[in-house]
Structure 1
Amino acid sequence: MTDHAAAPQPAPQPHHQAAGAAESPGTANPWAAITIDDPQPDAAQAPGLTEAAEEQAARRTRRRKAAVRWSCAVLVFALAGTGTALAVTAPERTDIPGLATADDGRYTFPPLTLPPLPSGKAAPDLKDRSKGLHQADLRYLLLPAPKEAGGSVNPPVFPAPTAPASASATAAPSDTPSATPSTSASAAPSASAVPGGGTGLADWVACDALNSELQNPARLHGLLLQDVCRAATAREWTASDGTLTRIRLLRFGSPNEARDAYSRGRTELQLKAAPDAKIADGGGWDTVDGIEVTRKDSQETAGKGVPTTRVAYVSASDVVAVITMTNPHGVPATAFRQVVTLQSDLLA
């Protein structure tokens, strides 16, 4: 046998080199330029992405504009509400059209102010008869005239309190214990001397100055002989509605004397303006504790049955008040009640 030499075998090639070698030199590999880790964007999708971004930007712009408009609207409404509130609350209620209180006959009085007491004297305690004497000047306890009668709406200004001795000396014509109807009538001015408007300090008057208004003055004469009146003052005015108001204050030596004069006066005395006046129903009246009020209405009435004369007798410890209001067209019940209530408050 003839030994033939074995032909040498080529060395094995790597797999990827073998695959590349197996391809023909003229054939290109389409996957050679693409890798998984580096994807390439699609050129056809770029315009769509741009439009979406523009739409989002436009939406944000619209939202900002809407927020600005709503903020401006809220600010305008807030300013308008604040201005309206100030326009309503700043002026007086009665100066605003539609909110003014309808006129029901009440008057416009200044704020009630109590006069100063003499040094060392206390205010009256109407619940205790022994401590119920009024120490203040009786003229300052008169209700002032309302605005409708030329009065002022400012509270009165009182002078410094004086000692009891000087106060009694000022009121000497009617403060003396012997101030009987016969002596006091000539010593003190008549009721006609009282200022018609009642804007200043009222005058001291005779205790029997009420005689000129009474149909039966002899009854008052006998009453004052039994219950001695120590001082008297008066005020009267005529309001713009034609109502004439007269207020008389009489101070007695003790609450018992004043109480007796009040009880007899409300039943025995008859006014010329209302000789047929009768005691009215006392229901619906709120009086201050210690104050007693008796009302009398004239039987002569104006339209709708309104009395042309209304009278009130007020008892306040040692002081008796006689309030008369007359008007041929009828005395408004509201104005009458207002005057009586305010005068009672001053005496309380």
Structure 2
Amino acid sequence: MTEQTRTDEVTIPSQAAPERAEPTAAEPTPEEPQVAEPAAAEPRSEEPQVAEPAAVEPQVAEPVAVEPQVAEPAAAEGTSAEPAPADGVAPLPVPASPPRRRLRDRRGLRAAARWTAALLVFGVLGGAAAYGVTQPERTEIPGLRTPDDGRWTYPALKLPKLPEGAPRPMDAQHNAAGRHYADPRTLLLPAPAGAKVDRTFPDRTGWLPTADFVKVFQTSYRAELTRTLAQDTLRHIAARAWTAQDGTRTEVYLLQFATQAYARETNAGLAMSGTPAQAASTAHDEDWGFSDVPAGQSADVFDESEPRGPQHVRVAYVQAGDTVAVILLSKAGTQPAVPFHQTVKLQAQLLG
């Protein structure tokens, strides 16, 4: 049974198609279907508009079923309800405007933005603080003062100017002999801050006689050392001495030879038999690293063996090219290793 919708006593088919008209026996022409026009209803915004069905022309040759017109669905809330056009083509639906963002979402976005800005600010401040901590000396930062380890304060070191075109002593490609073209007296390590320089050592010329140098070692070795220095073509000896504020006496000797081969031979003899006169015996310093001098140099570092005498003695032999450096430190009581190692390293750098 077909559901009928009644409006002003006119029946409009809702779902089923209209029945096909029966032609008469005398004339095959089909009857023209009667389509009732809907009466105009009062326009109301809340009710849907019923589309007017298009007129159907009868076909002469063969009857054609007339399909019913289905009413347009009601417009969604937020869109304007417009009647279908006369040609039966329904217009595209107008999309509803997007709903406004909820207040809760906006508050969440603002909170996230505030936290992001805060994190950026703290990151910048933390980076600035880390940079400030790493730049100055630790002794200048309150609360991070480094305990005094006994090292000395040396002036800024500067290599002397070489003659034009002269290579550096450690330049093996251009200076196979390892010769120092600078005056050895300009390669002596300066005294640290607060030290008292011995102006009488060696003398005003700055050159030390060989006989004075051999007295640094024990009596049993002096004669052999004198012959070795003469045979190994010793050219001259530069020397400097000072007494630090803690009472440590430092003596630095630079022995320059004709070639680095002779310097290497003399350095090996000193490391084997060169015990200072103030020490009964010496042993290799276990706290010294073999890589603490520039490349191409060699260093033999010794500490006085126990039991020690009234003076604690430390001595080092550094060979750099055609020059051998002898660094001798002595101090009453116990002599710390830090200033001694510091002095050896700095003198080796000047010879590089």
- Same fold judged by TM-score > 0.5? yes
Give the 3 Å change call, closer, same or farther, for CA 278–133 of structure 1 in structure 2.
same
Distance 2:239 2:285 in 1: 24
Partner of 2:345: 341
Give the 3 Å change call, closer, same or farther, for CA 280–89 of structure 1 in structure 2.
closer
Alpha-carbon deviation of 1:338? 0.9
Q: Does residue 93 in structure 1 map to residue 98 in structure 2?
A: no
8 A contact 2:207–2:239 mirrored in 1? yes
Give the counterpart of 1:310 among 310, 314, 338.
Answer: 314
Partner of 2:94: none
Give the 3 Å change call, closer, same or farther, for CA 283–140 of structure 1 in structure 2.
closer
Distance 2:129 2:245 in 1: 32
Alpha-carbon deviation of 1:278? 2.7
Partner of 1:139: 185
Alpha-carbon deviation of 1:193? 3.3
Matched to 1:193, the amino acid is D
Distance 1:277 1:225 in 2: 26
8 A contact 1:301–1:330 mirrored in 2? no
Distance 1:232 1:108 in 2: 26
Give the counterpart of 2:252 among 247, 255, 269.
Answer: 247
8 A contact 2:177–2:260 mirrored in 1? no
Q: Counterpart of 1:213 in 2: which secondary structure?
A: coil
Provide, for residues 265-284 of structure 1, a one-character-per-residue CA deviation record: whole Å limited to 9, x for no partner.
Answer: 22222211113123344763
Alpha-carbon deviation of 1:84? 12
Matched to 1:260, the amino acid is E
Partner of 1:162: none
Alpha-carbon deviation of 1:231? 1.7
TM-score using structure 2 length: 0.56
Q: 5 Å matches for 1:211-290?
A: 211-216=214-219, 218-219=222-223, 220-281=225-286, 284-286=289-291, 287-290=293-296
Provide, for residues 113-165 of structure 1, a one-character-per-residue CA deviation record: whole Å limited to 9, x for no partner.
Answer: 110001231212354672411101111111111114158xxxxxxxxxxxxxx
Give the 3 Å change call, closer, same or farther, for CA 117–106 of structure 1 in structure 2.
same
Give the 3 Å change call, closer, same or farther, for CA 118–321 of structure 1 in structure 2.
same
Q: Counterpart of 1:327 in 2: which secondary structure?
A: strand
Distance 1:262 1:249 in 2: 12
Q: 5 Å matches for 1:102-251?
A: 102-125=147-170, 127=172, 130-149=176-195, 191-193=201-203, 203-216=206-219, 218-219=222-223, 220-251=225-256
Structure 1 unaligned regions, length at least 5: 1-81, 152-188, 195-201
Q: Runs ≥4 in structure 1, deviation > 6 angstroms?
A: 82-91
Q: Counterpart of 1:130 in 2: which secondary structure?
A: coil
Give the 3 Å change call, closer, same or farther, for CA 140–208 of structure 1 in structure 2.
same
Q: Counterpart of 2:246 in 1: which secondary structure?
A: coil
TM-score using structure 1 length: 0.57
Q: Counterpart of 2:241 in 1: which secondary structure?
A: strand
Provide, for residues 57-81 of structure 1, a one-character-per-residue CA deviation record: whole Å limited to 9, x for no partner.
Answer: xxxxxxxxxxxxxxxxxxxxxxxxx
8 A contact 2:210–2:226 mirrored in 1? no
8 A contact 1:93–1:99 mirrored in 2? no
Alpha-carbon deviation of 1:83? 12
Provide, for residues 289-341 of structure 1, a one-character-per-residue CA deviation record: whole Å limited to 9, x for no partner.
Answer: 11101112112467xxxx91111011111000111111122221111111111
Distance 2:131 2:226 in 1: 57
Matched to 2:206, the amino acid is D
C-alpha RMSD of matched pairs (Å): 4.5
8 A contact 1:313–1:322 mirrored in 2? yes
Q: 5 Å matches for 1:11-90?
A: none
Give the counterpart of 1:293 among 277, 299, 306.
Answer: 299
- Greater fraction helix: 1
Rg (Cα) greater in structure = 2
Structure 2 unaligned regions, length at least 5: 1-123
Q: Counterpart of 2:142 in 1: which secondary structure?
A: coil
Q: Counterpart of 1:223 in 2: which secondary structure?
A: helix
8 A contact 2:178–2:321 mirrored in 1? yes
